Structure 1
């Protein structure tokens, strides 16, 4: 037996059948019959969910983090595991690798689309980069190798792809003016594009398109950010004409202090029922997925099932529970590749890190600015509160090097090791900041320090990312991995939405004098209370 945590607050025991060194979970009857929202309390925004057979996949935005466009996998729509990324590298220009003084914060992978095409057994990902071109990636499996095949000279802003019954591929997209594009037979170029709807001023702005067909009708699922959801319906083909109907507006959400569930998309289960995976603004943690059942009116319009006039905190399980690998836990960096739970801040310098029973981070940038340092490895924070602990071998650091564990966003703080003049100190640095153009305005101030010896240290951050103001992170360290000493003041988290992405744990190593130093991350633990 193993202990399995479904992140919904219910701990249960499950039997797992071991197959080839992995796990093949047995299907079980849901205990109590209820799941709890949010189904994933991590930062996954602009989600889309698709079903392939009896497996579900979720994709999301990642902005400036690399690899981009993560894919989660589930067998029950409630419990999710990391599977891979559709965009292996943000190779869209030098600003994405923090070179030449350039940076791409809040650029990169915005709302994009993932679909599976049965006719050639291929997964397709499409997304617009920098409001210019749309890129198409394909793979034979979501956790396999993704390849970039095409660049379409049209920005499919907030794209939603549909594979029609006759295998024709369409993409709905736009902001205010909603268009539909037809793709070529191989899905790699545009055949036709036509505006199909103009959002009336009485509604405001509609975007975040997802594209569906049910029966003979076509639906474009659209969000009014950040408090409404609308749907367009056509009974005359993918190019319309379309009529619009409000799905929800100012509907209270399932997270105390959080926003209105919106955007996201629909998915149909094998039994014919439908569910809606939206996201909820929940800063400082980000935007987190929440699930609700959908019913359809007699004339073919979707309706969200509410509980006492709001998006339910609990609903009946849509499917028998299938345990998967938890989204958090312990990692000793076994093997030779990073797991899909990690993303770098901008594209990494691949020559400056390696994985081999530990993560070795060689300094990749000479800077005094963490926001300009390459090869900062990030992991989403588990809400509502969680703790990250890093075991760090710092014996290979050189004078001027800085290495540690950060709470990373446009307002940041970190705990880490400084090597100066042959001396080593553990320090807590606070007050790192960027302005609205994502330019660094402060590289931070050292708030507390202590001398440390030896070559190994444990660094810890406890983060409270429940929605609202005055949430804090607290920093501590240990020289034996057992007794932890608090260091520095608590750090108040920024809960504005403008950076879009929520706080992440970030592991870094950079030089302020010259390259050549290195650290090894022996272990990373992310735990919940």
Structure 2
């Protein structure tokens, strides 16, 4: 029987994916904005089952800057090395490289400084020349809906010219917000795959030309049509060892973030690519490479160490004094910082699953402070414990402004409490304590171009400590 998969193949916030194949192995990376570590590297043998194997970015900003940092990356393998190009809209176009995708990666190098330079993609041509295409962020540059191409030094040290406007989508009827270009060459023809129309209602276009500098002609190759896959947005084209072609892209799902779909792709007799089912996303299809073992990016964590699981990230640069793994437990210091969890750097988070689930973690609080489990987006809410100056520990539940929802419940000092969240359809959250519902339901919301995050936090004057153990994510069976 032919093995099949169902979309999305990555059902959480894996935003702006790009994918490549090296031998029999597939690698994928995504944008992470100001999360640290950032630019996760995922590995697969069949384009369906994925695991996290490392990160390319280990440092970012010291403060939380929603919507800033690492925007849509391009992943390539050239001259025996892996390369990631990305745009930081407040810095410019950067890249890093590594011999092993697990790392270590070089420090970011700015190949083109400037505001609003985003979505870069390199191409090393057959004659040894190199090129770099990128889009524009109107919020910084004042313009968008256009793609600029540069000649680039083959070692990526710098761009070699002022850039050429190769596609001005203001001149294309119906086009708006053209972005996310991926530059390829096939059988002597240059191709730019790029979405337009916005992440929620847009489509995927491709452009082709005999010269890398154009002129380019366009065609829409993937759109929502009669499906429930809104937007089908930017991604990457990849082939398999058997010579088949596939396209990975994202769909914006609000509080769940940008989930990743896999589309079959063929090349028509007219030379243009055809994606999905007659240009519409497929819900189910055969697995590209049969025989792969089931795998998904990690979520649950027993904190056995010696390092944090690769699914975790901080909201800004972490201080080693914030955390420790010891005896199968995660210990977070109740450190000072903003009360608003949306801008607290010391929130340790991971992606919200895209299906109903129940999340639990056992928490013990010693000393003064506040600690717990939070769901963070444009709004935030939490459940946790609070140690007071009087030496009492209470169970609390609150919202973004850290106001309490209901009366605090006294907890015997030193007693472990299993706190959690039941996340239902539409990302409606009900907090839990020792298996019972606590507080009013909370509607999770997306953040700045990201989905909601499940987080652990500890806040205070530095004297208290939160001890977490057995972080578990249980997916509802009928949702799998």
Instruction: Answer yes or no: same fold by TM over 0.5.
Output: yes
- In the other structure, the counterpart of 2:220 is 246
- In the other structure, the counterpart of 2:253 is 282
The separation in 1 between residues aligned to 2:245 and 2:335, in whole angstroms, is 48
Structure 1 residue 204 corresponds to structure 2 residue 176? yes
- In the other structure, the counterpart of 1:472 is 428
The separation in 2 between residues aligned to 1:205 and 1:374, in whole angstroms, is 31
Q: Secondary structure at the match of 1:403?
A: strand
Match of 1:425 among 358, 372, 394: 394
Q: What is the deviation of 1:241?
A: 2.4
Q: What is the deviation of 1:165?
A: 3.1
Q: What is the deviation of 1:132?
A: 3.0
- In the other structure, the counterpart of 2:475 is 528
- In the other structure, the counterpart of 1:216 is 188
Aligned in 2, Cα 1:205/1:325: closer, same or farther, shift over 3 Å? Answer: closer
Alignment: residue pair count: 457
Match of 1:186 among 134, 155, 158: 155
Match of 1:507 among 448, 456, 474: 456
The separation in 1 between residues aligned to 2:113 and 2:15, in whole angstroms, is 23
Structure 1 residue 228 corresponds to structure 2 residue 189? no
Is this contact kept in 2: 1:383–1:464, CA < 8 A?
no
- In the other structure, the counterpart of 2:130 is 169
Q: Secondary structure at the match of 2:27?
A: strand
Q: Secondary structure at the match of 1:332?
A: coil
Aligned in 2, Cα 1:109/1:456: closer, same or farther, shift over 3 Å? Answer: same
Is this contact kept in 2: 1:152–1:190, CA < 8 A?
yes
Q: What is the deviation of 1:81?
A: 0.8
Residues 437-467 of structure 1 deviation map (CA, whole Å, 9 limit, x = unaligned): xxxxx3444334321113322111111354x
Match of 2:437 among 482, 486, 489: 486
The separation in 1 between residues aligned to 2:67 and 2:208, in whole angstroms, is 32
Match of 1:272 among 193, 218, 243: 243
Is this contact kept in 1: 2:222–2:281, CA < 8 A?
no
Is this contact kept in 2: 1:405–1:508, CA < 8 A?
yes
Is this contact kept in 2: 1:364–1:374, CA < 8 A?
no
- In the other structure, the counterpart of 1:369 is 340
The separation in 1 between residues aligned to 2:225 and 2:325, in whole angstroms, is 46
* TM-score between the two structures when normalised by the length of structure 2: 0.90
Unaligned runs of 5+ in 2: 136-143
Q: What is the deviation of 1:252?
A: 4.1
- In the other structure, the counterpart of 2:138 is none
Range that drifts further, 42-51 or 358-367:
358-367
Q: Secondary structure at the match of 2:47?
A: coil
Unaligned runs of 5+ in 1: 1-30, 91-95, 433-441, 479-483
Cα RMSD after superposing both structures: 2.0
Structure 1 residue 53 corresponds to structure 2 residue 23? yes
* TM-score between the two structures when normalised by the length of structure 1: 0.82
- In the other structure, the counterpart of 1:22 is none
Residues 334-382 of structure 1 deviation map (CA, whole Å, 9 limit, x = unaligned): 2321121111112212232122332221123244322342321111122
Q: What is the deviation of 1:325?
A: 4.5
